[in-house]
Amino acid sequence: MGRLSGRSAVITGAASGIGRAAAKLFAAEGANMVVADRAEAVEETAEAIRAAGGKAVAVTGDAGDDAFVKSLVDRAIADHGGLDVFWANAGISGGFTPLAEQTADYWAEVLRVNLIGPFLAVKHASAAMIPNGKGAIICTASVAGIRSGAGGPAYSASKAGVISLVKTACNELYGTGIRINAIAPGLIETGMTKPIFDGARARGNEDRIGQLNPTTRYGHPEEIAAAGLFLASDEASYVNGQTLAVDGGLSTSHPVVRRKR
């Protein structure tokens, strides 16, 4: 019996990185999966789960779109008989555009995907969970949302919003039996961080990636997935409204190398 045996789970941003690792782990622990991403490679995630003996359906679409997010909840109910876990993991970095060159439209898109997307997940997932008196919602935040030094302004603001959303939604869902928590990853090798890793490797500096955190290394998607499994499981039955930093200790100080103007 796995920790999520017989449960139904949705994970967005599941075509690669943290989302794919989480989907495969949740399925291995017994969950019936709906995996979503705007990239068609999300079908590869579902195929891997099915090949391992699990149950999964893949759906492509925009995790910042109201109707699409609701459709994921509906699909979980139709295919798997209900919804027990929703992990709002999809996000975008927004790149490295200097602050002075950023526009309102640029900010709006980052916030739409990174913050409004999780809000929609909370809204629609909780509506399906409330009648059952239980459920777990997880949102992917970032150490960039905790303090400066780990991301650009728009990305950091969006992830700070996710941390606040988890706190406020936790209280909005008072007495429903639904738990909502966030994970704040540090530097993890994913598609989003690929330019950082590619640049370091091109310079021959791969061994220095992650040197600023006390664990002195970067993280892996599977390590974030394991934290998500804990929050989704009954082992976290008394954990609610929290943000769990999984960052090798980076957020204890957020040391940065200052750039000259």
Helix (H) or strand (E) holding 24: helix 17-28
Cα–Cα dist 122/198, whole Å = 35
Backbone angle region of 73, left / alpha / beta, with phi > 0 → left and psi within -120 to 50 → alpha: alpha
Catalytic residue among 106, 155, 174, 238: 155
Cα–Cα dist 7/59, whole Å = 19
155 is catalytic: yes
**Contact present, 46 and 15 (Cβ < 8 Å):** no
For 137, the 3-state DSSP assignment is strand
Task: Supply 259's token pair.
Answer: 């750039």
Cα–Cα dist 94/114, whole Å = 10
For 91, the 3-state DSSP assignment is coil
Cα–Cα dist 66/256, whole Å = 37
Residue 163 identity (one-letter amino acid): I
Question: Given strand 56-60, what is the order of strands in its sheet?
Answer: 56-60, 32-37, 8-12, 85-88, 135-140, 178-185, 243-246
Task: Supply 82's token pair.
Answer: 């209900």
> Annotated active-site positions, please?
155
